[in-house]
Structure 1
Amino acid sequence: MTNGLPAMDGPGPSVDPDRLRRDVEFLAGEPRSRRRSPRAMERAEAYVHDQLLRAGWRVERQPFDLRWRLGSTDRHGHRALALKPRLHHRLRGANLIATRPGAVDGPTVLVGAHLDSVSGSPGADDNASGVAVVLETARLLSALPVPPPVTLAVFDMEELGLIGARHAAGELNRRHRVRGMICLESVGYFTDEPGTQRLPAGFARAFPEAAAATRANGYRGDFTLVVHRRSSAAAAEVWRRAAAAASPALPGLLLRDPRPDGPAGLLIGLAVPPVNHLGRSDHAPFWNRRIPALMLTDTANFRNPHYHRPTDEPQTLDFERLAAVTAATVTTAVSWPGD
C-alpha cells in the first residue's frame, strides 16, 4: 500500500465512469478557447475550479500576460503537424493549480491536462477526457487521510503552443521541486477494430519495437501509449502495471523518447520529426527543464477520426477504459519512483 492506495500490483483505486462521463459532457458542450470562445472557456474554468474545491482541494488561479511568444495555431483541422509555428503578439490566460490542505511542503508529483480546445471542436477527447481524469484524481486523493505530495494542474492555451504549461513549468518549479509530471493528452478514445491505429511517417524506423507490437496487435487502437524518457522509465512501468491491474482491456504500450532531458532534447526534436511528435503536449516544457515526465495518450489523430473536428463528442469515448486510465494514473502519482 502507498498512502492508503493500492500498490502497483493491487486492484487499483475505485473510479466512477459515470462521474468521468458527466465531467466530459459538461466540458465538451461547446468549443472552449480563451481567444475564440472566451465565455465557454470561462464556464469550463469555473466548473473545474468548483469541482476541485468540492473535492477538498485548495485552488489557485495563476493568470499570465505574455508578449511575443512563439507558438502555434489553434485552427481546427484533422491534420496535426508537429510544428505549426505562429508568433503571438500578446496572450492572456490562466492556469489552475490545486493542492491539498495539510500536504507536506516539499517535492511534488504533478498531474495535469489542458482545458482548451481548437476552434470548431467541442474537444471531448482533446482534451475534456484528460481534465476529467484530473478531476477524478482529485476526488480519489481527497479520501486519503494523509495528503500525498501530489499537485494538480489544468493548463490554458495548449493548442496555441503549450503556452500555459510553459509558463507553469517555471512557476511551479520555483515554488516546489517538481519531481515528476504526468500529462493526460487525449486519453478517452479506444477501438478494438483491426487497422484503426496508424503510425506517423518514419515511426517504424525510429521505434521498431513499438511499431512491431502495434503490427502484432493488428493495428488495433485499444491501448494507451505511455511516452517517457530514461528519467521517467520506472514511472512508465509503474503506470503499465497499474493499468493491467485496473483492467485487462487496457494495455499500456511504453515508448521511450531517446532524447535527453533539457534544451538539447528540444533541439534534436526539431531535426527529427518522428521524435518531435512525442513532445506535442504539456509534458514537453517539463522535459525541457529536466523534470521527469510521462505523456499518456490514445495517440489522438493517429487513431481518432474525430480529432480536432466538430464530431469530437462525448459519445465517442470509452468511459470504462478511461476509468482504468484514471486508476493507473492515481496509483502512479502516489508511488512515483524515487530520485
Structure 2
Amino acid sequence: MTDVSAFESDVTAARLRRDVEFLSDGPRSRLRAPAAMDRAESYVSGELAAAGWQVERQPFDLRRQLGATDEQGHRALALKLRLHRRLRGANLLASLPGADHTTTVLVGAHLDSVSGSPGADDNASGVAVVLEAARLLARLPVPPAVTLALFDMEELGLIGARHAARQLAAAGRVSGMLCLESVGYFLDEPGTQRLPAGFARAFPDAAAATRANDFRGDFTLVVHRRSSAAAAGIWQRAAAATSAALPSILLRDPRPDGPLGMLIGLAVPPVNHLGRSDHAPFWNHRIPALMVTDTANFRNPHYHQPTDVVDTLDFRRLAAVAAATAVAAVNWPAARA
C-alpha cells in the first residue's frame, strides 16, 4: 500500500497557489464567461499533458435539463431550480499511458464558478488538487489505474458530472469516485464552523466532533456512504499523517446508492446537503463515491461571492489535501467495502 510519505515531499504549495491564481483570475462559466472558461480549460489540459497524462475533451449537447441557477450568493435548493433548454459544454478526462484501466478510480473537480465570483475556493482549489495529484501519480514506477476528470457546469446543477456518470456507469469500469469540492479554506478560531439546520439531529456523531473542537473550521469533511467507507478512512489517515497533521471528520451518508438515495435526499433537507457536488451523480448510478470538502458556505463567508480570492486560502493545508487524495486514489481498489 502506498503511504503519504511517498507523495508529500513532492507536493509544492507554491505550485498549488500558482494554479489557483491562474484559474481564479475571474469568473469561469460556459454561459456567462465563455472566454474565461476556454482559458481555464486550456490551462488545465496543458498542465495535465505536461505531467504526462493523455487528455480527452468530451463535449456534450443536452436539452431540457433540470438544474440550477449559477447566480452568485447562496439560496435554498427550491429557489435555485431552473430548466435549461439547451446546454453545450465539455468535460475533460485524463489517463496515464500504459495504465490498466480495466477498472479505474475517478478523481474529479468542477472547473466552473458562479457568476460574479472568481471561485478560488469554489472550485479552483479542487482543480489545483487534481493537477497536483496528476503530477504525483505520474511519478509512480507503475502507472496507476486512475482517471482524472474536470467537470463542466457543476454550478448549473451538476450537469457535466451527470453526463459523465451516465457514460461511465454504462461502461462499467469505474470502481470509485473521489470528488474535490471547495477544499482550501480553513480557520483556527473557535466558532468559525457552522452546521446546517437539523444536522445535529441527523448526524449526532459528526456534530459532537465539531462541538468538541469548539466549532473550529480547521478540518476537512469527508462525506461517504457504506460503499466508500474504507476509502474515506484511507483518506483520513493519510491526511493525519502529513506534516500539517490535517484533521478530518468522516460523515457517512446513510442513504443507499442508486435512485432511491436521491429521492430520500429530496425529502430530507439535512441529508440533501451531502449531495451538493459532482459525486452525487455517481452515487445515483451505484458507483462508490466520496466528497472531500471544507464545508463551503458553512465555514467560508466568501462562498459564491466576489471575495472568494486566492489570498483567503491556506496552501499548506491544501498541500496535505493533495497528498491524501493521491494516497486514496492509488489505494482505492483494495479499500472497497
When the two structures are superposed, what TM-score results if normalisation uses the length of structure 2? 0.97
Amino acid paired to 1:124: A
How do residues 42-191 of structure 1 correspond to structure 2 at under 5 angstroms?
42-77=38-73, 79-83=74-78, 84-175=80-171, 177-191=173-187
Deviation for aligned residue 1:173: 2.9
Farther off after superposition, 21-30 or 208-217:
208-217
Say whether the 8 Å CA contact 2:67–2:159 is kept in structure 1: yes
Say whether the 8 Å CA contact 2:55–2:95 is kept in structure 1: yes
Say whether the 8 Å CA contact 1:80–1:301 is kept in structure 2: no
Give per-residue Cα distances to partners, 1:198-219, cap 9 Å, x unaligned. Answer: 0000000000111111011010
Amino acid paired to 2:144: P
Deviation for aligned residue 1:246: 1.1
The number of aligned residues is 333
The separation in 1 between residues aligned to 2:230 and 2:211, in whole angstroms, is 25
Show structure 1 runs of 5+ residues with no match.
none
Say whether the 8 Å CA contact 2:244–2:316 is kept in structure 1: no
- Report whether the alignment pairs 1:13 with 2:8: yes
Amino acid paired to 2:329: A
Give per-residue Cα distances to partners, 1:241-262, cap 9 Å, x unaligned. Answer: 0000013541010000000000
SS at match of 2:304: coil
Say whether the 8 Å CA contact 2:137–2:143 is kept in structure 1: yes
Give per-residue Cα distances to partners, 1:225-251, cap 9 Å, x unaligned. Answer: 000000011111101000000135410
The separation in 2 between residues aligned to 1:110 and 1:231, in whole angstroms, is 15
The separation in 2 between residues aligned to 1:51 and 1:12, in whole angstroms, is 18
Amino acid paired to 2:226: R
- Report whether the alignment pairs 1:287 with 2:283: yes
Farther off after superposition, 140-149 or 274-283:
140-149
Q: In 2 relative to 1, CA 35–75 (structure 1 residues): closer, same or farther, beyond 3 Å?
A: same
How do residues 269-308 of structure 1 correspond to structure 2 at under 5 angstroms?
269-308=265-304
- Report whether the alignment pairs 1:259 with 2:255: yes
SS at match of 2:108: strand
Deviation for aligned residue 1:146: 1.0
The separation in 2 between residues aligned to 1:176 and 1:203, in whole angstroms, is 34
Deviation for aligned residue 1:7: 2.5
Show structure 2 runs of 5+ residues with no match.
none
Say whether the 8 Å CA contact 2:94–2:148 is kept in structure 1: yes
Picking from 191, 212, 217, the partner of 2:208 is 212
Say whether the 8 Å CA contact 2:112–2:123 is kept in structure 1: yes
Give per-residue Cα distances to partners, 1:91-111, cap 9 Å, x unaligned. Answer: 000000000011113100000
Q: In 2 relative to 1, CA 204–234 (structure 1 residues): closer, same or farther, beyond 3 Å?
A: same
Deviation for aligned residue 1:176: 5.1
Give per-residue Cα distances to partners, 1:121-165, cap 9 Å, x unaligned. Answer: 000000000000000011111111210000000000000000000
Q: In 2 relative to 1, CA 52–248 (structure 1 residues): closer, same or farther, beyond 3 Å?
A: closer
SS at match of 1:246: coil
SS at match of 2:8: coil
The separation in 2 between residues aligned to 1:80 and 1:317, in whole angstroms, is 23
Deviation for aligned residue 1:338: 4.5
When the two structures are superposed, what TM-score results if normalisation uses the length of structure 1? 0.96
Amino acid paired to 2:327: T
Say whether the 8 Å CA contact 2:113–2:122 is kept in structure 1: yes
SS at match of 2:329: helix
SS at match of 2:148: strand
Picking from 181, 184, 189, the partner of 1:193 is 189
